[in-house]
Amino acid sequence: MAEDTGGLKDAGPWIAKANPEYTVLIDRQQIVTKLYSMVNVPTAVWIDERGKIVRPNEVAFVDNRFQWISHVDAGPYLAAIRDWVAQGDKSGYVLSDRELRKRLTPASPARLMADAEFTLGEYLYHAGHGADAIPYFKAAQRLAPDNWNYKRQAWALSDAQRDYGTTFAKEVQKLNGKPFYLPRQMPASPPKPD
């Protein structure tokens, strides 16, 4: 799922190069970001055969090429996916309803307002009014400060230093050692099913 306001123009070359056997969709309105309350990429959700969420948002690297910056090891995550595929509902990685409800929290009014501001910015950008979109992208970033999708996407659509007074590299530096991705709440080896 490409979370790309630039749509096919920006995501297309990457899809062509990957030549995937799985379905790849292009989400130029960041619909999935908003529906699932995502804040970064790569993020994944596990959905079972009945359309039920069995693991909510978590960082989902499938290799270690960015480990030097992400500090996230893909190995345990890949092992968990394979376990789920093999074991289905019996996989110890499938979360109970109680645990899911603990991890899934309601979107706050500020977060939902951020989504509306970002949507308006996207509309103006797509209508050819990129400069007019910037105040709405800034409002979304202010209202949802933990949402890196809203920051990085907006910065990528113009000159970030000129229009936002910052860059991705500068913002990562500001973290000052704090993790860029929320650590996964996942055991290193398959847990025993209940």
Helix, strand or coil for residue 2?
Answer: strand
Residue closer to another protein, measured from CB, 112 or 186: 112
What's the closest the beta carbon of residue 111 comes to another protein, in angstroms? 9
Smaller CB separation from another protein, 152 or 191 = 152
Q: Least distance (Å) from another protein to the CB of residue 97? A: 6
Query: In Å, how far are 6, 29, 136 from 128, measured between CA atoms?
Result: 12, 15, 15
In sequence order, what are the beta bridge partners of 194?
Answer: none
For another protein, give the closer residue by CB, 32 or 191. 32
What contacts 130, CB < 8 A, 6 or more positions away?
124, 157, 158
> Which residue lies nearer to another protein by CB, 26 or 79?
26
Asked if 44 contacts 58 with a C-beta cutoff of 8 angstroms, the reply is: yes
Nearest approach, Cβ of residue 46 and another protein (Å): 6
Select 141 or 153, whichever has its Cβ closest to another protein.
Answer: 153
DSSP string, 126-179: HTT-HHHHHHHHHHHHHH-TT-HHHHHHHHHTS-HHHHHS--HHHHHHHTTTS-
In the complex, minimum distance from the CB of residue 185 to another protein, in angstroms, rounded to a whole number: 17
- Measured distance CA(65)–CA(172) in Å, rounded: 18
Provide, rounded to whole angstroms, the least separation between the CB of residue 23 and another protein: 6
